[in-house]
């Protein structure tokens, strides 16, 4: 299973990073654990389990499927858009970023421009009205004041 192998290697890297960070933070003793105790041992356990998964996936190499499917590109775009949403939210304001995000999602679903723009506009405006006007939550404001 190549996909298992890739994810196991990813988590192995995370485990090594966590354990290294834990070491840098001081481990302490079993009776008086330091700040790094949990990250270090958590990383060690995760690393060992990842190695088990690596070994298992290498043993079942014959069952390999395609790692990247044609649909995966859309997935990457959306994952990137979610990240972009988080990064831009504070700067561009809730309404603008939500509108752009919804528009992108609807276009990815192969809807027409007019329908996408109208739905995205309505969605952004409705959530702004709900959270800002009714529930009085403080949403990030953009340069235009909303």
Partner 1 sequence: MEIVQGVLYGFQVALQPINLLYCFVGVLIGTLVGVLPGLGPAAAIALLLPSTFSASPVSAVIMLAGIYYGAMYGGSTTSILVNIPGEAASVVTCLDGHAMARQGRAGAALGIAAFGSFIAGTLSVVLLTFLAPFLARVTLSFGPPEYFALMVLGLTLLTYFARESMVKALMMAAVGLLCGVVGQDTISGRLRFSFGIRTLEDGLGLVPVIMGLFGISEVLLNLETRDQDRDIFAAPTTGLLPTREDWRRSALPILRGSALGFGLGILPGAGAIIASFASYAVVGMMTFSPGRWAKIDDRLFECWKPCPQPRPTIARMTSGTLIWPLDI
Task: Catalog residues that contact partner 1 under the rule CB under 8 A.
Answer: 11, 14-15, 18, 21, 25, 34-36, 38-39, 42-43, 45-46, 49-50, 52-53, 56, 69, 71-72, 74-75, 78-79, 82, 108, 110, 130, 135-137
Q: Compare residues 21 and 119 and give the one whose CB is closer to partner 1.
A: 21
How far CA 146 is from CA of 11, 109, 136, in Å, comes to: 40, 27, 13
Q: How far is the CB of 138 from partner 1 (least distance, A)?
A: 11
Q: What are phi and psi of 84, to 5 degrees?
A: -60, -40
Q: How far is the CB of 117 from partner 1 (least distance, A)?
A: 20
Q: Compare residues 8 and 95 and give the one whose CB is closer to partner 1.
A: 8
**Class of residue 27 by CB neighbours under 10 A (exposed 0-12, middle 13-18, buried 19+):** middle
Tell me the C-alpha distance between 71 and 143, whole Å: 36
């Amino acid at each position: 299973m190549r996909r298992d192998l890739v994810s196991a290697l990813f988590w192995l890297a995370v485990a090594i990073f966590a354990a290294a960070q834990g070491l840098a933070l001081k481990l302490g003793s079993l009776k008086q654990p330091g700040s790094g105790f949990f990250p270090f041992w958590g990383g060690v356990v995760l690393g060992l389990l990842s190695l088990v998964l690596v070994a298992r996936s290498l043993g079942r190499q014959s069952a390999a499927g395609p790692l990247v499917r044609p649909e995966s590109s859309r997935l990457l775009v959306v994952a990137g858009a979610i990240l972009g949403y988080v990064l831009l939210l504070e700067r561009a304001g809730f309404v603008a970023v939500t509108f752009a995000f919804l528009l992108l999602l609807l276009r990815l679903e192969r809807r027409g421009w007019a329908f996408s723009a109208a739905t995205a506009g309505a969605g952004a405006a409705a959530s702004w009205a709900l959270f800002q006007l009714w529930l009085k939550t403080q949403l990030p404001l953009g340069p235009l004041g909303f």
